[in-house]
Amino acid sequence: MTKELLVYIDGKFYPKSEAKISVYDHGLLYGDGVFEGIRAYNGVVFKLKEHIDRLYKSAHPIFLKIPLTKAELSKAVIETLKKNNLKDAYIRLVVTRGVGDLGLDPRKCPKATIIIITEPLLQLHSTEKVENGINTVITWVRRNPVDSATHEMKSLNYLNSILGKIEANNIGADEAICLDKKGYVCEGVGENLFIVRDGKLLTPPLSSGALDGITRTLILRLAKKLGIEVTERDITPNELFTADEAFFTGTAAEVAPIREVNGRLIGTGKPGSVTKRILAEFEKAAKDPAEGSAIK
């Protein structure tokens, strides 16, 4: 029998089949908590510092106190990977409100629960899809507005995204695109979105309610380095339909070219030259040890 992967819960390691938390945990009862999805490439946890910083930023507005320092939590992530002997991995870091009673009042939860799951790398879209582009659909499900349980916080409330994903599944699309409250393009269900028009990149602003994606920030930097102009501004659905190129970015999706939106081909329907340059530069960055924290 192959050895089971170990999962970190509150400072202890449990075999995957025994890694369980209380049914009274408010992460389960109310989706009360925050999380990060992180990747390790070739023995380096990509952008670990940025993910840890964002986790604490997500916890701050909801008064969720993470009972470890950032340094301790980073160490726990590395430790979990080491225990599982993983060099290329998908890492799920979850902090829930912890165990309380059946009421939603977070004051009844004295201590947050910390969970670290590590798995061999997960491929969100097949190689064929990345080469040829993915089929998307703009869904009727609007991104949560910024004056609600906003996706600016990476909370455990993902029903808004899951509903979008279900709509895509039901019509056989690979992924959904959500509009914001005003009707402008916002993001995918677990990805940020970029379009190319006249050789220039455009991406929706964070005020659309899109997550401040770590891959998005990296792409903004890489585009500058490549001399590609980028503007953060509202994008209409029509501008997306008539874009020369479009692609998603995210930890799980990496850089994923978009082939079609609601049946309309984007550009030639093949990944375009700007997307290919960005993708190549992203792949270089993902392999660069300076972009992350070594597993040692």
Q: Any idea which residues carry the catalytic annotation? A: 154
Nearer CB in complex with ligand PXG: 26/216:
216
- Reading the block at residue 43, the tokens are 């023995």
Binding site for ligand PXG (CB under 6 A): 37, 124, 151, 161, 187, 190-192, 211, 213-216, 249-252
CB of 171 to ligand PXG, least distance (A): 19
CB of 178 to ligand PXG, least distance (A): 8
Q: Are 174 and 139 spatial neighbours (Cβ–Cβ below 8 Å)?
A: no
Neighbours of 274 (CB within 10 A): 22
CB of 172 to ligand PXG, least distance (A): 18
- Reading the block at residue 140, the tokens are 């009727």
The strand pairing partners of 114, in sequence order, are 95
Nearer CB in complex with ligand PXG: 109/195:
195
Nearer CB in complex with ligand PXG: 191/281:
191
Report the length, in residues, of the chain: 296
Compute the radius of gyration of the chain from its Cα atoms.
Answer: 19
CA distance 88 to 232: 32
Q: Are 269 and 260 spatial neighbours (Cβ–Cβ below 8 Å)?
A: yes
Nearer CB in complex with ligand PXG: 104/121:
121
CB of 48 to ligand PXG, least distance (A): 12
Q: What is the DSSP letter of 270?
A: S
